[in-house]
Structure 1
């Protein structure tokens, strides 16, 4: 029988193909999907016929841009999570291959001891899920990740934190300093709403995410309105080497309001004199690890 602490450590210490700041959320997304299965039906069982669509959707939406096919992207974590000792398949198939998964209708699930511990302890499910989203995603999109995995974000994000005290300490003054440096207005659209003396709807955004060694430094921050902050963290918006705004060709909108995002494409940042602009290496990280695909054609 696995203890709560053992399950927490096993599911939040997955071996990831992660180096030099590269994102690899594939296994965590599969675990979140399995937790969603347990929450809804009491079992983590996930047939490949379902995982191929649901997991590939999660990876495409919340993972870095990839030229790998959708089914192939899902096959990687579905077969490789076995090496972490928390995932079993109904048939022993080779790593990474889509064909055997489909032809044998393979079913994956968390190992019996882990699943039993999670079924007995709904609070443990919440803690694991919260730890995984906090480790791999910024707060702007964590609720969307949980919802897509079949979990209730309001429930999960209120769970007690389980992440160990980080070696790096957050700079409590960073957010206020970024807003002030950018005149408390969105660096992309210029929105500058205030209610009394309080700035409303404008946030300090990391270019390189904190979870991936992004520092609380002036050259890693932008003031962005809530909408453009979320689009930036989703990878719908980015920056080029000349610090002009780019809009992903994968982004679409039909209404007049939604299509105003297209108007941002090619617009230069216009910081006030003396404001540090995002450093090139942070911009390059965002373009490689977050921005979705190619930018709109000029």
Structure 2
């Protein structure tokens, strides 16, 4: 194994708490933020005064729902990434505590050998970034994550040599089967645009994300228009136990077009006879790990 391969493996095989499908993107988001910092400034160094705000914003936007304070959520990866052997702090402080980080404005950065390898090889940096986003986020969300950390999504998502998920292979026929089962129309709004014989703007969406053990099975899929697929993966939209659409109370819109999203709240899925609806276990996972906050009050 070359040193570049070792760096790729170390930065993309972080110790995460993902038991029972729980999402923990905190460390990957910190690594991505440091990669963006390195790209723009030539150094991965992130003082806590800078990292706290940016990292807590990233965790709130792209992480699962949490009752932990924003500063505390950022302190976990900022101090614990040291245990993966890729991150150093300029002062030895206890794990998880925000007080010492703020008092001394502790700075974190990649260890010198890792940072040198990434600085010498922009392609290695892109491979690390692409592997991290593809292992932790669906394709609808990955470009937004990369943009938020200061990386070019077009550049990163074209990187070669990306490590796939161990033991997982996508079913090439799953997308077509899901679209056919839902009559090639959005299960939420009914949009069914076609260009010739091809559906345009309608996609097959995983309820439980593929990266988190979501199977390519009919009962883990919905046909959704591009807009509602993205809102579903961001946690704006969800499903309750009775398969009624839920809209997050955290979502706001001002224009009539945006406010039309509110009208989806409480709408029942109406699949054609014989179509498998999302399984309860996948709906529960999405509600726990993706849906943001509480649903709108009826």
TM-score (normalised: structure 1): 0.98
Q: 1:84 is matched with which residue?
A: 84
Uncovered stretches (5+) of structure 1, i.e. residues with no partner = none
Q: Secondary structure at the match of 1:284?
A: helix
Match of 2:57 in 1: 57
Offset of 1:168 from its aligned partner?
2.6
SS of residue paired to 1:257: helix
d(CA) in 1 for partners of 2:4, 2:135: 19
- Which structure 2 residues correspond to residues 161-200 of structure 1 after superposition, within 5 A? 161-164=161-164, 166-200=166-200
Alignment of 1:1-298 (within 5 A): 3-164=3-164, 166-298=166-298
Q: CA deviation at 1:164?
A: 4.2
CA contact (8 A) 1:135 1:211 kept: yes
Tell me whether 279-288 or 155-164 shows the greater mean CA deviation: 155-164
Q: Deviations over 1:73-121 (max 9, x none)?
A: 0000000000101111111111111111001111010100000100011
C-alpha contact 1:93 1:101 (8 A) present in aligned 2? yes
Offset of residue 165 of structure 1:
6.4
* 1:130–1:161 contact (8 Å) kept in structure 2: no
The answer to whether the Cα contact below 8 Å between 2:165 and 2:211 also exists between their aligned partners in 1 is no
* Cα displacement (A) at 1:3: 1.4
Separation in 1, partners of 2:26, 2:143: 17
Please give the alpha-carbon distance, in whole angstroms, between the structure 1 residues aligned to 2:52 and 2:15: 21
CA distance in 2, matches of 1:164, 1:261: 35
Query: SS in structure 1 opposite 2:256?
Result: coil
SS of 1:162's equivalent in the other structure is: coil
2:85 and 2:16 map into 1 onto residues whose CA distance is 13
| Secondary structure at the counterpart of residue 246 of structure 2 | strand
Q: Is the 8 A contact 2:81 2:87 kept in 1?
A: yes
- What SS does the corresponding residue of 2:31 show, helix, strand or coil? helix
Q: Distance in 1 between matches of 2:39 and 2:168?
A: 33
| Distance in 2 (alpha carbons) for counterparts of 1:162 and 1:276 | 33
Superposition misfits of 4+ residues, deviation over 3 angstroms = none
TM-score, scaled to structure 2? 0.98
Distance in 2 separating the partners of 1:226 and 1:164: 25
Distance of 1:155 and 1:18 partners within structure 2: 29
Q: Aligned partners of 2:118, 2:248: CA distance in 1, in Å?
A: 39
Q: Secondary structure at the match of 2:223?
A: strand
CA distance in 1, matches of 2:132, 2:216: 22
What is the aligned length? Answer: 297
User: In 1, Cα distance between the equivalents of 2:166 and 2:223?
Assistant: 25
CA distance in 2, matches of 1:201, 1:184: 10
